[in-house]
Structure 1
Amino acid sequence: MHRVPLPLPNDGLHAVNVYLLENLAEDDGIVMIDGGWTVPEARKALEEAMAGLGRDLGDISHILVTHIHRDHYTNAVELRRLLGSQVYMGAGEQPGLEMLDRLRNYVPDSSLRTLSEAGAGELVDRIRAMDHGAYDPDVWEAPDRWLRAETLRFGGRELHVVPTPGHTQGHVVYLDEQRGLLFSGDHVLPHITPSIGFELAERGGRPLADYLDSLRLMTRYADTRLLPAHGPVADSSHTRVAELLTHHDNRLTQTLTALGEHTRDAHTVALRLAWTRREVPFGDLNAFNQMLAINETAAHLEVLVLRGRVAVAFADGVNQYTRVR
């Protein structure tokens, strides 16, 4: 099993990890976890990694994608076109792919709708005016197989497909119980918590509540080594899951404190919170990260509503939140 960081263009995360698994497929092909972003520098890095194994790109027989975001999916589709590799992805991503084909752009409509309902109409205009990258329909084809909760078998090895909605509706992780490995995609990351419900399609379910449920689901399996899509490998998936659950518990408390005793929208609450591990003020974030921050604040307020701590009323197109006494 080999971890290969592939570079990302203009992205704060810098790289996405793909994993090359040898001696799995019956045809001696390599099974690859996640595909990367289809940019020339990523292709070059992958070719060099394969050469270091005495292999070439043609040996990649299967690509198992964790979710639909560009840095995970687009290069998988491109490699399939070049090599004939089989691409698998979670069935929950099908609505997003269909929506993307209709929109023909990368403007995150569902996130912008959340912004509008959060009272951040001016930010919606700024996000729409941004350059989100040229839409390339060739890299948004359907996978060869839509995955549900099931077990994939490659030779004598098994990989369990575990749906983990939250980051996206159709996010899945791949669990190798025999060797104690969890290929966690963006579900469990070693140093950051992923954005919640970042969808181009309409959001399904309640993203943060779903994410917390998906985190707790990981503890029902034996502890494993954590193989994330971003950042270094970690020894214990359970340890990191516990840290993420604690983080969100703390964030829920901070969100309730920021709401205070007044009725406020999610935008106003987000302004009263600090962001990232460096405790950056909301005003110091760029427009894209302000969008993520408001979307995350709305998600935390939604969980507080579900828990009976906050009441919500929809008025003049905006959700207004009030603490329940």
Structure 2
Amino acid sequence: MKDLDIPDGYAGLDFPWADAPAEGDVVEVADDILWARLPLPMALDHVNIYFLREDDGWAMVDTGFDTKRTRAILDILRAGPLGGLPIRRLFVTHHHPDHVGLAGWLQGQGAELLMTRTAWLMARMLTLDEQPRPTPETLAFCRRWGMDAEVLAKRANERPFNFADIVAPMPTGYTRVTEGEEIELGGRRWHVARGDGHAPEHAVLFEVGGNLVLGGDQLLPGISPNLGLYPTEANGDPVGDWLAACARLTPLARPDQLVLPGHKTPYRGLPTRLASLRQNHVAALNRLHDHLATPRTGGECFAPLFKRDVGGDLYGLAFFEAIAHLQHLYRTGRAVRETRDDGVWVFRAT
């Protein structure tokens, strides 16, 4: 979701490529590193994938959804720009379906899967957790946080989003990567850093002795990724996790690094971008705090966070993002929470 868009999201950044690669084609962004795109059926209509040449084939970074169309595009890429060589290794930055969707399919063809432990456990668990209707716990969570009653009633009788719809079954086993270690990928050494907030234990790779960064969704230009609070971890603080990750990654950032992000286009200017990614949410928290001068439920907190009307398919993402910011204000003592007679939480600024 293009949430919390800010006018200066591109300010201070340098974009070496004005155009993205066409479907089924690639752009070489560094020696033996190819950038391609796969389509997504949503407002953010693409995901970036990267191929790094290895001695006996390719390493691939992220995968797109598991659909007939993305499988076909990947086959075109393998037969064309990849020269018919196999994908030997697959590095997935985080567990979201647009990044892990084809991982199991590629493992079935012999690719080694590299992920952080939390990312792999989340992805595999969610592919096995198929629900025909939202669980009672999910409905109670949304009701407590103040989801619009009509939206909630509609969602209660619909099949929810299931990972299994667009993520291939994932076999047992993967190769774990951990924060702080160095790994080899595509003939280069990479330092593994940890993002958080958008996805737990999101891996960010910084080239050792070089200027490349594989940023996934942690380091997007122009937009801030969704930070949502969900019933799977009802006491979580994704906004706090995000701010901590920005502070953790900042010492690794240099202006000359070329960031290869999960969406949008590669860019330089990472120190500037990390500062704006942090400030984006700090400013949103301050606007929300002002908004809570009048007590509000989670469903009444869209206005200070989003710069357009939110409805339809975007309502859910906006709701979970709004309550994540409410949660951070509550957990840091900037808001207090009371329970109405109907069981809904109401927040007001301290």
For the pair 1:307 / 2:338, whether they are aligned, the reply is: no
Match of 1:235 in 2: 268
Give the conservation status (yes or no) of the 8 Å contact 1:165–1:211: yes
Counterpart Cα distance in 2 of 1:274 and 1:306? 18
Q: TM-score if structure 2 supplies the norm length?
A: 0.79
Match of 1:100 in 2: 126
* Residue 49 of structure 1, CA deviation: 2.9
Instruction: Pick the structure with more helix per residue.
Output: 1
Match of 2:215 in 1: 184
Q: Which letter maps to 2:52? A: L
* Residue 280 of structure 1, CA deviation: 1.1
Structure 2 residue aligned with 1:266, among 274, 286, 298?
298
Deviations 1:184-208 (A, max 9, x none): 1111211211111366843574111
For the pair 1:38 / 2:66, whether they are aligned, the reply is: yes
Deviations 1:60-115 (A, max 9, x none): 1110001111111121211121x200011221135534542553148786875552
Cα distance change, pair 94–61 in 1 and its aligned pair in 2 (3 A): closer
Paired residue total? 310
Q: Which letter maps to 1:144? A: Y
SS of the residue corresponding to residue 280 of structure 1 reads coil
Match of 1:6 in 2: 38
Q: TM-score if structure 1 supplies the norm length?
A: 0.84
Structure 1 residue aligned with 2:75, among 36, 42, 47?
47
Deviations 1:98-139 (A, max 9, x none): 542553148786875552221116233323444536835852
Q: Which letter maps to 1:216? A: A
Unaligned runs of 5+ in 2: 1-32
Match of 2:177 in 1: 147
* Residue 323 of structure 1, CA deviation: 1.2
Give the conservation status (yes or no) of the 8 Å contact 1:168–1:197: no
For the pair 1:254 / 2:287, whether they are aligned, the reply is: yes
SS of the residue corresponding to residue 301 of structure 2 reads helix
Counterpart Cα distance in 2 of 1:237 and 1:268? 34
Say which is worse superposed, 223-232 or 108-117, in terms of deviation. 108-117
Moved over 6 A (4+): 106-111
Counterpart Cα distance in 1 of 2:48 and 2:156? 30
Give the conservation status (yes or no) of the 8 Å contact 1:107–1:200: no
Counterpart Cα distance in 2 of 1:94 and 1:48? 27
* Residue 230 of structure 1, CA deviation: 0.7
Deviations 1:144-186 (A, max 9, x none): 1233212212475212222212112232222213221111111
Counterpart Cα distance in 2 of 1:184 and 1:221? 12
Unaligned runs of 5+ in 1: none
Deviations 1:18-47 (A, max 9, x none): 010114xxx432111111111222223223
Counterpart Cα distance in 1 of 2:80 and 2:139? 44
Say which is worse superposed, 313-322 or 290-299, in terms of deviation. 313-322
Counterpart Cα distance in 2 of 1:77 and 1:71? 13
Q: Which letter maps to 1:29? A: G
Match of 2:349 in 1: 323
